[in-house]
């Protein structure tokens, strides 16, 4: 695995695709575990065009050893060093007939345990009884996200579109995107591969038009938040 290339791509472009982190058998075991999970809890959301699990690692605790294999842990350690822990996890199943899409945005907020008025933190939001806040920029710049793909994903079934290098522009509003200078790239990933990205990377996704797309989204940090608040999820 060419870790130097992946580190360069993450630093310069804000993302990199690392294939073959999981075998077909490992992917199938992850899928089977999700399918057999108790879906009656409040962290599960199921509609005609979406199945999602919030706080995924907490909601389905038996999934953790299947995700955090030696190969994944070695990959993340080589790319980012030690000291990081998971701070947010979501499972998304976008079925073949799904008609929802995600517009251009950066991931500017983190999930925390409570709302406290603290200098440098804000604005605040609450969604599904979960507090989220925009932290100091330095935290967002150091965090990273992995998207573990359980299906082959391309432009036809909701692969992320990104603007390479946009993570270097700090807070970059969608209305300020200069399409004369930016070039969107589709982050196609095979089943068993991961996309690694910085949260400040501008990204979006299209509707699904031909096949389902199942992705596990996990955010990592090594930051200690301001006194009075902590991460809503914190899994080492």
Q: Is residue 232 part of a domain?
A: no
**Does residue 145 or residue 1 have the better pLDDT?**
145
Evaluate whether residue 235 is within a structural domain: no
188 within a domain of the structure (yes/no):
yes
**Looking at the domain assignment, is residue 69 inside a domain?**
yes
Q: Is residue 136 situated within a structural domain?
A: yes
pLDDT for residue 41: 85
Q: How confident is the model at residue 97 (pLDDT cuts 50, 70, 90)?
A: low
- Whichever domain contains 61, its CATH number is 2.60.120.620
The answer to whether residue 146 scores a pLDDT higher than 70 is: yes
Q: Which helix (H) or strand (E) holds 93?
A: strand 85-94
Check pLDDT > 80 for residue 96.
no
Would you state the pLDDT for residue 98? 66
Using pLDDT thresholds of 50, 70 and 90, give the confidence band for residue 123: very high
Are 102 and 204 spatial neighbours (Cβ–Cβ below 8 Å)? yes
Average pLDDT, the chain: 94
197-229 pLDDT, tens digit per residue, is 999 999 999 877 778 889 999 999 999 999 999
**Position 92 in a domain:** yes
Measured in whole angstroms, how far is the alpha carbon of residue 116 from the centre of its chain? 25
Task: Output the CA angle 156-215-84, nearest 5 degrees.
Answer: 135
Q: Is the dihedral of CA 216, 220, 226, 231 positive or negative?
A: positive
Instruction: Give the containing element (helix H, strand E) for 110.
Output: strand 110-112
- pLDDT, tens digit, for every residue of 74-85? 999 999 999 999
Least confident of 25-34, 43-52, 65-74: 43-52
pTM of the model: 0.95
What's the number of domains the chain is made of? Answer: 1
Note down the domain range covering 159.
Answer: 3-221
Query: Is 234 inside any structural domain?
Result: no
Q: In the predicted model, what is the mean pLDDT of residues 183-198?
A: 97
SS (H, E, C) 26-39: HHHHHHHHHHCCCC
Per the domain annotation, does 48 fall within a domain? yes
What is the Cα–Cα distance from 57 to 54, expressed in whole angstroms? Answer: 8
pLDDT of residue 173: 94
């Amino acid at each position: 695995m060419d870790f130097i290339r992946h580190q360069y791509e993450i630093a310069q472009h804000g993302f990199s695709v690392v294939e073959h982190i999981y075998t077909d058998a490992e992917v199938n075991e992850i899928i089977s575990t999700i399918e057999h999970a108790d879906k009656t809890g409040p962290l599960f959301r199921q509609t005609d065009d979406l199945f999602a699990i919030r706080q995924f690692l907490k909601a389905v605790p038996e999934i953790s050893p299947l995700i955090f294999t030696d190969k994944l842990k070695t990959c993340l350690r080589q790319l980012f060093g030690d000291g990081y822990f998971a701070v947010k996890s979501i499972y998304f199943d976008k079925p073949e007939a799904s008609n929802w899409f995600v517009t251009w945005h950066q991931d500017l907020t983190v999930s925390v345990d409570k709302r406290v008025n603290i200098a440098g933190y804000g604005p605040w939001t609450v969604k599904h009884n979960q507090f989220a806040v925009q932290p100091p920029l330095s935290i967002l710049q150091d965090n990273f996200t992995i998207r573990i793909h359980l299906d082959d994903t391309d432009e036809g079934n909701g692969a992320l579109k990104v603007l390479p290098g946009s993570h270097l522009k700090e807070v970059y509003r969608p209305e300020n995107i200069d399409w004369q200078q930016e070039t969107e790239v589709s982050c196609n990933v095979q089943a068993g591969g991961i996309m690694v990205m910085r949260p400040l990377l501008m990204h979006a996704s299209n509707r699904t038009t031909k096949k389902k797309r199942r992705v596990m989204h996990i955010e990592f940090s090594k930051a200690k938040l301001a006194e009075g608040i902590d991460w809503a999820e914190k899994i080492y």
